[in-house]
A and B are shown apart, each in its own frame.
Chain A
Amino acid sequence: EAGVTQFPSHSVIEKGQTVTLRCDPISGHDNLYWYRRVMGKEIKFLLHFVKESKQDESGMPNNRFLAERTGGTYSTLKVQPAELEDSGVYFCASSRGDGQTRTIQYFGAGTRLSVL
């Protein structure tokens, strides 16, 4: 069974440009999460999908970030326009739909975003 996959693994863009990150969760996992780690600090939650619906987007930093999950399968996270402070590693995780407090979230390898 394939794990959580993220594309690209690394993206280098200039300030003001647009970048789209993609996450393919484990097949059958209804829950999909986005997190990011900035400047070696703690990993912070961005948002949570249940199937195609946004369950919790309280961690999204501002309206330059847009997340979608088409048909409840893969998800994209678009940053437009990118700013220097958006640099960091963006992680995606997925979990099964039964019993959220107990279930394990499985993480992808992350996308390292560098905004110059």
Chain B
Amino acid sequence: AQSVAQPEDQVNVAEGNPLTVKCTYSVSGNPYLFWYVQYPNRGLQFLLKYITGDNLVKGSYGFEAEFNKSQTSFHLKKPSALVSDSALYFCAVRDYGGGKLIFGQGTELSVKP
């Protein structure tokens, strides 16, 4: 069965510092991976996806993610964090059998001035 894990419930970063939100996956074949962000009182917003190709994927709001097949990871990164990046981040993998997404538990990112 496919699964995704986000090992950190919360990540705290100072504004201007680089940030990393971790995600590892378990799939039987090639993964289709996604990152979503949920701002307070808002829906999930798509950030970026990895389907195939370059291991470094660039997305919205200056975020990027690095696909690492040997470590089965898809960590979300940003070189310089903003206070406005504070939100809940979800990693997900697309199920092969259909269209559903399988999500991790989410990571609360807090960026302090």
* Chain A contacts to B: CB under 8 angstroms: 3-4, 6, 31, 33, 35, 40-45, 48, 55-56, 59, 91, 93, 95, 100-110
Closest chain A residue, CB of each to CB of B105: A42
> Closest CB-CB distance, A30 to chain B, in whole Å?
10
Which residues, 74 to 113 on B, are CB-close (under 8 Å) to A?
A: 90, 92, 94-106
Given A55-B98, A107-B36, A110-B43, A101-B105 contact (CB < 8 Å): no
Of B100, B102, B105, the residue contacting A41 (CB under 8 A) is B105
A42 contact set on B, CB distance < 8 A: 103-106
> Closest CB-CB distance, B75 to chain A, in whole Å?
18
A-B contact pairs, 23 of them (CB 8 A): A3-B43, A4-B43, A33-B99, A35-B101, A40-B106, A42-B105, A43-B103, A48-B99, A48-B100, A55-B99, A56-B97, A56-B100, A93-B44, A100-B94, A101-B96, A104-B49, A105-B46, A106-B46, A107-B36, A109-B41, A109-B42, A109-B43, A110-B43
CA A72 to CA B110, docked complex, whole Å: 40
* Chain B contacts to A: CB under 8 angstroms: 32, 34, 36, 41-46, 49, 51, 90, 92, 94-106
> Closest CB-CB distance, A77 to chain B, in whole Å?
15
Of A45, A103, A110, the residue contacting B100 (CB under 8 A) is A45
Of B43, B46, B105, the residue contacting A104 (CB under 8 A) is B46
Q: Which 8 residue pairs are nearest across A and B when measured between Cβ atoms?
A: A107-B44, A109-B43, A100-B99, A43-B103, A45-B100, A107-B43, A42-B105, A56-B98
